Structure 1
């Protein structure tokens, strides 16, 4: 019997080392993501218990969206660009490494501060335009929150630079640290007295982001023990690659990262409670999506960058397509199970205190609609990572623009037919369109040749 199993095992082809590296990285990240998202889930349970779907949650959701969307856009662009740059930077002279790291951190701090000032200047106008259907109490809470939560955007931007350094070294502890703001909010909400106030949400969020940024900086210095000082120049040669990439990628990513803002403007038309309901739904969806998508995306980017760095584009393409199929199948299974368990999962997370059974039914319905996007999101992220590793930023920008147009049109049409669930149906259609475009583009790639940083073979 045992010789039979030995013979059977010998007939199974061994896994390529690239797949094993990706799998090991994805497993490590999944553990970190699970821990961080558990903190997020506990935070949502505490927030639902204390605040329900009341005006404080509406204001908090709206504030976090408007505070974070532009820094998240920039952080997303630079995380895509910087990981391959950091991989190549290790082979450069020490002087180039020192200069680039000092300039990157210096400009991240300055740009973050400028974004905070811009937010303070534009906030009244954004609130007037985007929150006209919300109550006066909700708008007043928004004004209170923005005064102290404005600097969060700067912290997001600076911490993303540190996280990219860690990711380029296949160190993924940053995914665990993303749960720190949720942990701080959880602690303050649970320790608050009987008075229902927004202060625990404000203090926990700001404090969590500050501690997260400080720890990420400490860890990035440990991984790359290079001494440098902050500079406000752009003399490092790596900026040429960063500029070429950002120039063609930024527009598409800015547009794609506007989808949360777009959805918020559609949601507020349905009045008080709608923003909170969609916010709870999106947070449960993020727990689900990040477990697979964040894990595989962060695990595969440095490895594909290594493969393409040695000029083997064909191997990178072949590896990515295999993982695309695997993630589509995995996403389909996850979506089916989540659809079946949606009412029980939402009730377990939220249904207590101010969060009623009626709220559970509303969130569970939207959560089921959100499952349509899961297979397309999981698999599309693998191909996005392949294009980023190969420097195909022009194609990425075109795909992002076309997908956003689909999202806008679908939002208008689907909300007319389905009301709020139409927003989630439109998101699924956007991700499906993105996946199809990536598959069409990748079929036209030349095989066996490398690409330059600008995205040309």
Structure 2
């Protein structure tokens, strides 16, 4: 039931995201504004999302166990967690704002002068969004620890606000609608999730800067190892933007449209199972039934691999039609459809491996095997970086997508090998 609820919420959220992309394509087409938006959202959000990704994986099992603590202990930990989240997010937001011109000079040299100027304007919204992303991520983890998945639906709030802002803007001449829609959307999402998390926990968790809660030593140790792998994987987005920016010809915009359409497909099936699986597997692990958790994860993984293969086949056939249906209107031309569909098809090859590996990631996380997860992540990034360098010059943005597909293939092979080896080790020891 958890996966079904998440899938339903994801379907609604992704529908809102699709409508937002349609509006952006209608108003902006493949242009410098979309180049700037795609570059800025990827580069400005990569570190906050990396931190949230690492913390969520290690934090949810801790929060599941914390449910059995007394109220005072729970309040102490949640308050300290909130306090350090706000402090760290504030520092991150200030640094993002101050260092953005240097980031543009270092990574964004391939962007046009107009796109670079637009990126500076967009940073007014994305710098504070760094803080809001961390607060939102912690609130979402609190909800998922209670197996409540409304956060999945609320992921679409920024997209809905951007959609409304872009459509109400009339004639679009700058990135103002994208900038203010993004900032207001993140504010609403952050406040809403914080309120829901407080209701789920039965307390707000008043922020305080201290380390007195007993959960910190194990959490910090696990988060440090997990963060190493997450940082490695988080560079995938920036390295894609850097590679695309140096290809020229609005490659950032083309890659961005294909990536966002691909994310709609990824989210509906894969993320629903992944988000529902971790609390369930963590609960089974906490009861000492490791064999059952491993068997369940391997079965789910095979089913998801098959579903991903079917989705790839259907998606490859329907890619031009889907791109045209969603985007081909206004400033988005038929030639843009051909370019985006070509890139999208190569990205679809990642679906089976992405679907299949997602549950195995949750299995290893529920077992606290963060070291091997970090090693796999570093290997994935190494392959991705090399493949970008090899494939992009000859295939363009499609080569970037193919490199991502190869990265997920390696990831799936590694996770299956670790899970199967663990199963054999368990049988031998017994």
**TM-score bin, normalised by smaller chain:** over 0.9
Aligned equivalents of 2:385 and 2:296: distance in 1?
33
1:285 pairs with 2:247: no
Q: Which residue of 2 aligns with 1:217?
A: 194
Kindly state the Cα deviation for residue 54 of structure 1 after the two structures are TM-superposed: 1.0
User: Counterparts of 1:191 and 1:268 in 2: how far apart (Å)?
Assistant: 30
Task: Tell me by how many angstroms 1:55 deviates.
Answer: 0.9
How far is the alpha carbon of 1:146 from its aligned partner?
0.9
Which residue pairs with 1:55 in the alignment? 32
Instruction: Please give the residue correspondences for 1:215-294 in structure 2 after superposition, counting only pairs within 5 Å.
Output: 215-226=192-203, 228-294=205-271
Contact 2:17 2:159 in 1 (8 A): yes
Given the alignment, which residue of 125, 133, 141 partners 1:164?
141
Q: Give the aligned partner of residue 111 of structure 1.
A: 88
Q: Secondary structure at the match of 2:68?
A: coil
Q: What is the match of residue 133 of structure 1?
A: 110
User: Does the CA contact (< 8 Å) of 1:33 and 1:176 recur in 2?
Assistant: yes
Q: Structure 2: 5+ residue runs without aligned partners?
A: none
**Partner in structure 2 of residue 28 of structure 1:** 5
Match of 1:65 in 2: 42
Query: Partner of 2:48: helix, strand, or coil?
Result: helix
Question: What SS does the corresponding residue of 2:422 show, helix, strand or coil?
Answer: coil
| d(CA) in 2 for partners of 1:272, 1:213 | 36
Aligned to 2:178: 201
Q: Contact conserved, 1:55 with 1:272, CA < 8 A, in 2?
A: no
What's the TM-score, normalizing by structure 1?
0.91
Provide the residue aligned with 1:389 in structure 2.
Answer: 366
Q: Distance in 1 between matches of 2:140 and 2:47?
A: 18
RMSD over aligned Cα atoms: 1.2
- Could you tell me which runs of 5 or more consecutive residues in structure 1 were left unpaired when the two chains were aligned: 1-23, 450-457
Instruction: Work out which of the residue numbers 417, 421, 425 in structure 2 matches 1:444.
Output: 421
CA distance in 2, matches of 1:309, 1:149: 39
Q: Secondary structure at the match of 2:102?
A: helix
Question: Quick one: which of 360, 365, 369 aligns to 2:342?
Answer: 365
Cα distance, 1:194 vs. partner?
2.0
1:189 partner SS: helix
Q: Does 1:309 find its partner at 2:296?
A: no
Aligned to 1:408: 385
Deviations 1:41-87 (A, max 9, x none): 00110110110011111111111111100000000001111111111
How high is the TM-score relative to the length of structure 2? Answer: 0.97
| 2:353 alignment counterpart | 376
Distance 2:252 2:53 in 1: 24
Contact 1:133 1:272 in 2 (8 A): no
The answer to whether 1:38 aligns with 2:32 is no
- Asked if the contact 1:26/1:295 (under 8 Å) is kept, the reply is yes
Could you report, residue by residue, the CA deviation over 1:251-298 in whole angstroms, capped at 9, with x for unpaired residues? 111010110001111000111411111000000000000111110001
Higher alpha-carbon deviation: 228-237 or 178-187: 228-237
Equivalent pair of 1:267/1:420 in contact (CA under 8 Å): yes
Q: CA deviation at 1:228?
A: 3.5
| Selected match of 1:356 from 321, 327, 333 | 333
Distance in 2 between residues matched to 1:176 and 1:124, nearest whole Å: 34
Asked if 2 retains the 8 angstrom alpha-carbon contact of 1:69 and 1:258, the reply is yes
Count the aligned residue pairs. Answer: 426
Tell me by how many angstroms 1:136 deviates: 1.0
2:163 maps to 186
What is the deviation of 1:229?
A: 2.0
Report the Cα offset of residue 196 of structure 1. Answer: 2.1
Specify the alignment match of 1:142 in structure 2.
119
Residues of 1 paired with 2:262 and 2:125: CA distance?
Answer: 27
